[in-house]
Amino acid sequence: MSYVNMDGILNNARKKKIAVGAFNIVNYLTAKAVVEVAEELDQALILQTSVKTVKAFGINEMMGFLKPIVDNAKVDVAIHLDHSTDVEFTKACIDGGWSSVMYDGSQLPLAENIKNTREIVEYARSRQVTVEGELGAIVGVEDDIYVKEGDSAHANPADCRVFLSETEVNAFAPAIGTAHGVYKGEIKLDYDLFAEINGFSKCPLVLHGGTGLSDEMFHRLIALGASKVNISTAIKIAYCQGMRSFIAANPDKNDPLKLDAFTKDAVKKVVKTHIRFFSQIE
Ligand SMILES: [Zn+2]
């Protein structure tokens, strides 16, 4: 029984003051790489899929290759849909076998965000699927959601209280100054805001925009209660750079299996560093 939703793994992480890595995988190879590392380190894992990736494969095709990897895993793994802004698509992924989803209504007025998130929570709950919600704007590009730096709005604690009590989400991502993609300029994080929200939130908190944060930043945020940390850009970079360096070193080889093995190792190295750090493994 290794295929789970996020409830147990995130609440356990919150208790232990560690974080579970949520890695955005893009295909079979990256999914395998991430699961293998979690098994090697004996840590729970969240396999995360962006809407764009799910649409590229199709819901059934994607679950078709992810499910056997997860069913055979030696650790608990959730398959989580990242940043879905479409209520119907989110429900389709729940029907398609995802054990967890994020509905991102952060760009909507608060009342509408609450209404849509609540609708997803009700749909998901009866199917044992967990839901992550977001408030405030996390800057940068994630899928086709683009938030300009100047538009960055930190989550407001009063709104967070209303959102949490009315939606009853299982995990909550408040915007505190992190960004998606590669950071431009100085990173300014509101640690006090994060600590305050964690103080009253019944559910574990999520940190988006993890690529590019320093060890010190991760350390502080995990100590303050970040139980899920999203890593997307670092995986994309490791994957593409892995391929590039194999091809550069072997310009005359046309051996896809060797290329894949090399690339998988490159992804595994990056994932291993993150999981060790999040779980405080020496
Ligand atoms: Zn995000």
Distance 68 CA to ligand 1 centre (A): 26
Q: Is residue 64 part of a domain?
A: yes
* Mean pLDDT in residue range 49-66: 98
Comparing CA positions, the residue from 270, 220, 217 lying closest to residue 240 is: 270
CA distance 92 to 87: 9
Q: Residue 59: what pLDDT?
A: 98
Q: Is residue 41 part of a domain?
A: yes
Q: Residue 147: what pLDDT?
A: 56
Distance 208 CA to ligand 1 centre (A): 4
| Sign, Cα dihedral of 58, 147, 211, 239 | positive
Distance 70 CA to ligand 1 centre (A): 23
Comparing CA positions, the residue from 76, 67, 38 lying closest to residue 231 is: 38
Q: Is residue 31 part of a domain?
A: yes
**pLDDT > 80? residue 142:** no
Res. 57 pLDDT band, cuts 50 70 90: very high
Q: CA torsion angle for 117, 121, 165, 151 (degrees, to 10)? A: -20
Comparing CA positions, the residue from 116, 93, 88 lying closest to residue 104 is: 116
Q: Residue 89: what pLDDT?
A: 98
Distance 46 CA to ligand 1 centre (A): 14
Distance 66 CA to ligand 1 centre (A): 21
Distance 49 CA to ligand 1 centre (A): 11
Q: What is the full DSSP assignment across 188-257?
A: ---HHHHHHHHHH-SSPEEE---TT--HHHHHHHHHTTEEEEEE-HHHHHHHHHHHHHHHHH-TT---HH
Distance 102 CA to ligand 1 centre (A): 9
Q: Is residue 248 part of a domain?
A: no
Q: Is residue 100 part of a domain?
A: yes
Catalogue the active-site residues.
Answer: 82
Q: Residue 151: what pLDDT?
A: 47
Q: Residue 152: what pLDDT?
A: 53
Q: Is residue 76 part of a domain?
A: yes
CA distance 118 to 115: 5
Distance 88 CA to ligand 1 centre (A): 20
Per-residue model confidence as pLDDT tens digits over 157-173 = 999 999 999 999 999 99
Domains contained in the chain, number = 1
For position 209, which CATH number holds? Answer: 3.20.20.70
**pLDDT > 70? residue 144:** no
Q: Residue 189: what pLDDT?
A: 87
Q: Is residue 258 part of a domain?
A: no
CA distance 250 to 144: 35
**pLDDT > 50? residue 21:** yes
**pLDDT > 90? residue 7:** yes
Lowest mean pLDDT among 22-26, 77-81, 134-138, 268-272: 134-138
Q: Is residue 253 part of a domain?
A: no
Per-residue model confidence as pLDDT tens digits over 61-112 = 999 999 999 999 999 999 999 999 999 999 999 999 999 999 999 989 999 9
Backbone angles phi, psi at 94, to 5 degrees: -60, -45
Per-residue model confidence as pLDDT tens digits over 205-259 = 999 887 778 889 999 999 999 999 999 999 999 999 999 999 999 999 999 999 9
Q: What is the domain extent for residue 111?
A: 6-233+272-278
Q: Residue 177: what pLDDT?
A: 83
**pLDDT > 60? residue 146:** no
Q: Residue 185: what pLDDT?
A: 73
Res. 143 pLDDT band, cuts 50 70 90: low
- If DSSP states are collapsed to H, E and C, what string results for 52-105? HHHHHHCHHHHHHHHHHHHHCCCCCEEEEEEEECCHHHHHHHHHCCCCEEEECC
